[in-house]
Amino acid sequence: MISEERKAVVSNVRKVLIKIGTGVLTGKEGLDLGIIDQLVEEVAGLKKRGMHAVIVTSGAIASGRHRMGITRKLRSMPEKQAAAAIGQGRLMRIYSNSFGKHGIFVAQMLLTMSDLTDRQRFINIRNTLTKLIEWGVVPIINENDTVSVDEIKFGDNDHLAAMMANIIEADLLINLTNTDGLYDRNPKESRKARQIKLVREITDEIEAAATAEADPVGMGGMKSKVMAAKKVTACGIPYIIAGGKKKGVLNDILSGKEIGTLFLPMTDCLNSREYWIAFTLRSRGKLILDDGAKSAIIDRGKSLLPSGITEVEGEFSVGDPVICLDREGIPVAKGLVNYSSEEIKKIQGLKTSKIEQVLGYKHYDEVIHRDNMAVSRDKRLRKA
Ligand code: GLU
């Protein structure tokens, strides 16, 4: 049976971020090519269904360690970094070959925390990802282990994946690991452990249920997966922890099957300004957008320009909140306008360069600037 929550989560997924843990990717013989092929085939299937996939992968260190014939756990940072340098190339080659069988290109992105805290680099990362997604390429991201130590280390790929999901504005983050979800107690210690199917809110009990114990090959353990869930759900993205070795796992999840643990997005996830625009202000009019403008706003984080407006409804002044609808009347965004309804009627459908010619002045390029706009990834705005 498919629950209402699952249905709601999977019904509109266009961009999915898939995090694959070391425990999933490796077996006794190092990287498990069979599993990688299996997962890649599924990702290729999702792409055929029109979804965009971004992968955050682990497995570089484990692969490098195996190549060097080291069977013990790696101790020092330089050892791990060296192993990552050895394993990363192999990891990418395997992904590349595997995706190649489906005619799909992959792109490698190696990142550190300092890349994300630097505004310019952050924007560069986002721009690169946006272009790769547009080109239909699958970005494969890992931490740049060879340069990241201590303070610049993400800590683990669970957090890297959480940040990436936010950057690409994913509709869903699937964290594939070697346990099949979150249990109410450590399943390795208690036979009474029961899997938690749905988490509406990350309470103290949920945090306590996640043990800090890392699996033997991965880094993060369940604790870090639940900490990452907090970040992901806080920005409105649903999050599923599931067992990655199970055949058909991605397909099953995206068909709404009750697999793994689903963390629902927080309901107050918009930032306070967006929230204010979306819910506190009453809309004074409507703008109907063409498909290009809709996709620019939803997929590419753009402002609304006059060229994408096809109709204006209602009378409103500069600074008023208006709702933007697509051609089917489904709300896309709500925002504060830089031009009045009268002005917009004159410049709708026109290039920005024509604004001055038509109005005799141009105070702004955008009809609604992105900073003054609330765009919802879920359906809540639809009630606005
Ligand atoms: N970046 C590490 C690797 O590729 C994994 C880190 C993690 O699993 O959290 O081996």
For the chain, the average pLDDT equals 87
- The answer to whether residue 268 scores a pLDDT higher than 60 is no
State the average pLDDT over residues 32-38.
Answer: 96
349: domain CATH number is: 2.30.130.10
**Helices vs. strands in the chain: H and E counts, helices first:** 15, 15
35: domain CATH number is: 3.40.1160.10
Predicted local distance difference test score (pLDDT) of residue 198? 92
Alpha helices in the chain (DSSP H): 4-10, 22-25, 33-48, 60-67, 77-100, 113-117, 119-134, 157-168, 204-209, 221-234, 249-254, 272-275, 291-300, 341-347, 355-359
19, part of any domain: yes
* Token pair recorded at residue 232: 């992901």
For the ranges 14-28, 94-108, 146-160, the lowest mean pLDDT is seen at 146-160
- The answer to whether residue 377 scores a pLDDT higher than 80 is no
Q: Are 367 and 304 in contact (CB under 8 A)?
A: yes
State the average pLDDT over residues 376-383.
Answer: 46
User: How many angstroms is it from 150 CA to the middle of ligand 1?
Assistant: 14
Domain extent, residue 323, equals 283-375
Q: Are 66 and 29 in contact (CB under 8 A)?
A: yes
383, part of any domain: no
Quote the CA–CA distance of 136 and 48 in Å, as a whole number.
11
Q: Are 334 and 318 in contact (CB under 8 A)?
A: no
State the average pLDDT over residues 164-185.
Answer: 90
Position in ligand 1 atom list of the atom nearest CA 157: 9
State the average pLDDT over residues 149-173.
Answer: 81
Judgement on whether residues 334 and 189 belong to the same structural domain of the protein: no
Residue with tokens 């069979």: 34
Report CA Rg, the chain: 23
230, part of any domain: yes
Please tell me the total count of domains within the chain.
Answer: 2
371, part of any domain: yes
* Ligand 1 contact via 64 beta carbon (within 6 Å): no
User: How many angstroms is it from 67 CA to the middle of ligand 1?
Assistant: 16
* Ligand 1 contact via 61 beta carbon (within 6 Å): yes
* pTM beyond 0.75: no
For residue 219, give the nearest of 145, 152, 165 by alpha carbon: 145
Predicted local distance difference test score (pLDDT) of residue 383? 39
* Ligand 1 contact via 156 beta carbon (within 6 Å): yes
Give the confidence band of 273 by pLDDT, cuts at 50, 70, 90: low
Predicted local distance difference test score (pLDDT) of residue 376? 62
41, part of any domain: yes
Judgement on whether residues 164 and 300 belong to the same structural domain of the protein: no
* Ligand 1 contact via 307 beta carbon (within 6 Å): no
Predicted local distance difference test score (pLDDT) of residue 223? 84
User: How many angstroms is it from 152 CA to the middle of ligand 1?
Assistant: 14
Judgement on whether residues 259 and 320 belong to the same structural domain of the protein: no
Quote the CA–CA distance of 73 and 80 in Å, as a whole number.
9
382, part of any domain: no
Give the confidence band of 110 by pLDDT, cuts at 50, 70, 90: very high
